Structure 1
Amino acid sequence: MNLINLFIHPKKYFTEINEKEKFSLLAPIVILVIIGVLTGLTAGNTVSSMGLPEEQMGSIQGLAIGFGIFSGIIGLAIALVLKTGIFHFVLKKMNGTASFKSAIYVVGISFFPKIFQGIINLLFQKPLDLNTIYEFNIVNFLAGIINIFNIWQIALTIIGLSIIYGVSYRKTAIPVIGFEVVAAGFTLVTTLITANSMAGITPTGIE
């Protein structure tokens, strides 16, 4: 399968795999693992910017990387199954004809743009500022949600699911974009709760 088409002609890519019925889950699994590794390495870099004592840095950084990789992969796997389950249920109600396995493949392969996002985050990571870590910044929040990588992922998901289920782009966009809106709302609420609960707490104690 020509993966280049996933970049330049995603409609052709998903049409070809749908016609050949080749839905190996190996590619989505590899993508999730790569993203998980990048998440762990980013966590390790974050720890290294905290100014910890040299004798503690190695062990804590190692733990951060290991936990980041593990939690990243597990979190992505849960998100993949949850999203696919919702999309499959809704699109079946719209008379879609695809299987759950094929939907898992499409949703999983659509995480591919996140690899590029992870690489950029790793290479251009800003040092962690403990004084502002719990401050809510609407610009940063929106930038984390509305960016080229998320839009790219959503577009791939809509195109792929539309083709394999035989449902129009417009109808397919309903559960896909709806899920992202709900997820963004949940993230906003939890972020605000965390920011409010941590108000007044400093790295050295409570004011």
Structure 2
Amino acid sequence: METHLETEKVKNPSLLGLITRPGEQFERMREKPAFWFPLVIVLILSVTGGYMVSEKTPLSAELSEIPDAEAFQAAMKGVGIIGGIFGFVIAMLISALIYWLIVKIGRGTTNFVHMFSLSVFTYFIAAIGQFIGGLVIYYSNIDPTIVVTSLNGIIPADEPLKSVLGVFDIFTIWSLALVALGLQKVGGISKKAAWTGVIILFVISILLALTAGMAINFFDSFEGAM
């Protein structure tokens, strides 16, 4: 009976509490994972930030020559929003799977629901960064390809270095630090195992950004030659 009453008293983890008292929220998450309402909030922040950036992204020369280019652009933005929603959910599912694997490798104990909750909550910080970046770009003349809260918002650079600098974003790093803490609190793995997993993920993100930057540089050079 006492155990049942203690379980009922467990509060849901709080998104805002993740900023001020992250350890407490992860303790709650371990007892009572939650994700539906946080998922909606994080999705709104992320998609809104992406939409504001897209509003300041000009049409390419080829698309601008299409009849009714503005209508076409509006339709593409609508498709982009829908695609962004599905892409966001898929990204959360994939990241939850990755966190689950890290915990299993680190000999912790968890399940997919807990890791999905961890994925959504920790992405809240990155979503705030996306929203702030979108606001800044929307109300200024900043290049929409720049991540304003990252090093490429401070250090001018061409591709592929530009994309690599974009990975060093204060909100992304903050989010990853929370992932490391969450893997310990929710997944029950050691500090060393949690940070090793997060550092590997960060290195992979740098390599992916480098590859994307090289691809952008290649296609820009190809179009210039044409």
TM-score tier (shorter): 0.7 to 0.9
TM-score normalised by length of structure 1: 0.80
Instruction: Report the CA distance shift for 1:190/1:111 in structure 2 as closer, same or farther (over 3 A).
Output: same
Cα distance in structure 2, aligned partners of 1:25 and 1:173:
27
1:196 aligns with 2:218: yes
Number of aligned positions between the proteins: 196
1:137 deviation in Å?
Answer: 5.1
* Match for residue 56 of structure 2 among 45, 58, 61: 45
Question: CA-atom RMSD, angstroms?
Answer: 2.8
Q: Is residue 35–residue 120 contact of structure 2 (8 Å, CA) maintained in 1?
A: no
Cα distance in structure 2, aligned partners of 1:194 and 1:127:
16
Letter in 2 for 1:91: V
Cross-structure match for 1:69? 81
1:108 aligns with 2:120: yes
The 10-residue stretch of structure 1 (184-193 or 101-110) with the greater mean CA deviation from structure 2: 184-193
Aligned sequence identity (%): 21
Instruction: Report the CA distance shift for 1:29/1:178 in structure 2 as closer, same or farther (over 3 A).
Output: farther
Cross-structure match for 1:156? 178
Q: Is residue 40–residue 64 contact of structure 1 (8 Å, CA) maintained in 2?
A: no
Gap runs ≥5 in structure 1: 130-134
1:110 deviation in Å?
Answer: 0.8
1:124 aligns with 2:141: no
Cross-structure match for 1:144? 166
Instruction: Report the CA distance shift for 1:29/1:71 in structure 2 as closer, same or farther (over 3 A).
Output: same
Cα distance in structure 2, aligned partners of 1:170 and 1:92:
14
SS at match of 2:186: helix
TM-score normalised by length of structure 2: 0.74
The 10-residue stretch of structure 1 (147-156 or 178-187) with the greater mean CA deviation from structure 2: 178-187
SS at match of 2:75: helix
1:185 aligns with 2:196: no
Instruction: Report the CA distance shift for 1:157/1:124 in structure 2 as closer, same or farther (over 3 A).
Output: same
Which structure ranks higher in relative contact order (CA pairs < 8 Å, sequence separation ≥ 6)? 1
Instruction: Report the CA distance shift for 1:57/1:120 in structure 2 as closer, same or farther (over 3 A).
Output: farther
Letter in 2 for 1:193: A
1:198 deviation in Å?
Answer: 2.9
Cross-structure match for 1:166? 188
Cα distance in structure 2, aligned partners of 1:67 and 1:47:
17
SS at match of 2:107: coil
SS at match of 1:91: helix
Cα distance in structure 2, aligned partners of 1:81 and 1:177:
20
Cross-structure match for 1:12? 24
Cross-structure match for 1:132? none
Cα distance in structure 2, aligned partners of 1:82 and 1:174:
19
